[in-house]
C-alpha cells in the first residue's frame, strides 16, 4: 500500500497520513451502513428510520471530518478551534431538527394545540390527530372541499412551523365560531318581514349544548384569554345593495358544525320565503330603461308592421 501512495508523489509522513485517511473513510462508511441496517431492523416508523439515517450520516461525517482535520491540518493553533468549527457546522446542518424538537417542547409546555383541536396554520386547515418529537399530524379539511369538511388527506407538519407561521386554533378554550349568512330580497319585498323570519330561524339554531352552553364556554375561555363579546345571540344586519336588500345573519356555531348548521338554516329559509307572498329572493340583474321617445318609435314600428297588407300571390 505504501508503494501505491508513493506513485502519487507522497513520501514519508505524507504516506502515513494518506493511509490514515483511507482507514477513516472506510470505517465511516462501514459504520454508517451497520447502524442504518440495524435501524431498519428495529424501527417500524418510516419517518423515524429516515431521521435516524440522516442523523447517523451527519454525526459520522462530523467525526470523520474531525479525524481528517487532525491528520492534515496540525498547524492550527489548537484542537479546540477544530471542534468549534465542526460543532458549528453540525449545528447548522441539523438546524431544522433542533427547531422541530424545540417546537415539540413548546407544544408540551404551552399547549398551542392538542390532539383533537381544529387548527389553521399557513394555508392548511385540519384536525390534529397526532403529535410527535419532530412533527404533528392533521387530517386536512377545506382545500378543494367546501364547508370545512375533510378531504381525507393526512398531512405531516414539522413542529418548527409553529415559529414560522401564524397558528389559528378553532377549539382551544372556546370551541364556537361566528358564522354569517346573507339573505338578499328584492326592493319590492317586505324586508322587515324577511328580517323577522330570518332572525327566528337563526335563533332556533343558536349554539346551545346541554353540557357546555356558549355562555359557559366563553366564561371559561376568559380565564385564559381576554375575550369580550357583547352579545352571543344571533343578530341580523341590514344593507342596501344595487340589486336589493341584503340581510346579514350572524350566528355562533360549534366549530365543527358550521356546514351542518348552514345547511339546516338555508333549508328553513327556503321553505319560509316560499310560503311568504310578500318576500322574494333578489339576485343581480340588468334593466334597460327606454326614454319616452324611444318607446313611441318602437310602438309606431309595431303598429306599422301589424297594418301592412299580407304578401301573397
**pLDDT score of 63:** 86
Sheet with 135-141, side-by-side order of all strands? 150-158, 135-141, 124-131, 118-121, 167-169
**pLDDT score of 215:** 64
pLDDT, one tens digit for every residue, the chain (313 residues): 555 555 555 555 666 777 778 888 888 899 989 988 888 888 777 777 777 887 888 888 888 888 877 776 665 555 565 566 656 666 666 788 889 999 999 999 999 999 999 999 999 999 999 998 889 999 999 888 877 888 999 999 999 999 999 999 988 877 788 899 999 999 999 999 999 999 999 999 986 544 446 666 666 666 666 667 667 789 999 999 988 999 999 998 888 888 999 999 999 999 999 999 999 999 887 767 767 777 777 777 665 665 555 555 4
For 103-120, the pLDDT digits (tens) are: 999 999 999 999 999 999
**pLDDT score of 308:** 54
**pLDDT score of 211:** 44
Q: Which three cell numbers stand for residue 181?
A: 349568512
Q: Which three cell numbers stand for residue 290?
A: 327606454
Residue 100 phi, psi dihedral angles, 5° rounding: -65, -40
28-67 b/e with 16+ CB inside 10 Å = b? beeebeebeeebeeeeeeeeeeebbbeebeebbbbbbbbb
Q: If you count them, how many residues does the chain have?
A: 313
Give the domains, in start order, of the chain with CATH numbers. 2-93 (no CATH), 112-169 (2.30.30.60), 176-274 (3.30.70.100)
Amino acid at each position: 500500500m505504501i508503494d501505491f501512495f508513493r506513485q502519487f508523489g507522497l513520501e514519508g509522513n505524507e504516506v502515513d497520513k494518506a493511509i490514515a485517511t483511507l482507514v477513516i473513510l472506510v470505517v465511516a462508511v462501514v459504520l454508517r451502513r451497520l447502524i442504518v441496517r440495524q435501524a431498519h431492523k428495529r424501527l417500524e416508523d418510516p419517518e423515524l428510520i429516515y431521521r435516524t439515517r440522516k442523523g447517523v450520516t451527519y454525526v459520522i461525517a462530523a467525526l470523520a471530518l474531525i479525524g481528517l482535520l487532525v491528520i492534515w491540518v496540525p498547524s492550527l493553533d489548537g484542537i479546540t478551534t477544530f471542534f468549534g468549527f465542526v460543532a458549528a457546522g453540525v449545528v447548522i446542518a441539523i438546524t431544522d431538527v433542533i427547531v422541530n424538537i424545540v417546537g415539540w417542547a413548546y407544544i408540551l409546555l404551552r399547549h398551542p394545540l392538542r390532539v383533537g383541536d381544529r387548527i389553521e396554520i399557513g394555508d392548511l386547515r385540519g384536525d390534529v390527530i397526532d403529535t410527535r418529537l419532530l412533527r404533528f399530524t392533521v387530517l386536512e379539511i377545506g382545500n378543494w372541499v367546501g364547508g370545512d369538511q375533510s378531504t381525507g388527506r393526512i398531512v405531516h407538519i414539522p413542529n418548527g412551523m409553529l415559529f414560522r407561521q401564524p397558528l389559528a386554533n378553532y377549539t382551544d378554550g372556546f370551541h364556537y365560531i361566528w358564522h354569517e349568512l346573507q339573505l338578499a330580497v328584492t326592493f319590492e319585498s317586505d324586508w322587515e318581514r324577511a328580517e323577522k323570519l330570518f332572525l327566528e330561524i337563526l335563533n332556533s339554531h343558536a349554539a346551545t349544548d346541554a353540557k357546555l352552553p356558549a355562555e359557559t364556554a366563553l366564561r371559561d375561555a376568559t380565564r385564559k384569554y381576554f375575550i369580550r363579546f357583547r352579545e352571543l345571540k344571533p343578530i341580523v344586519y341590514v344593507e342596501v345593495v344595487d340589486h336589493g336588500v341584503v340581510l346579514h345573519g350572524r350566528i355562533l356555531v360549534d366549530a365543527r358544525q358550521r356546514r351542518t348548521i348552514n345547511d339546516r338554516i338555508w333549508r328553513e329559509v327556503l321553505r319560509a320565503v316560499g310560503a311568504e307572498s310578500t318576500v322574494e329572493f333578489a339576485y343581480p340583474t340588468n334593466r334597460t330603461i327606454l326614454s319616452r321617445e324611444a318607446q313611441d318609435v318602437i310602438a309606431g314600428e309595431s303598429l306599422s308592421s301589424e297594418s301592412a297588407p299580407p304578401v301573397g300571390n
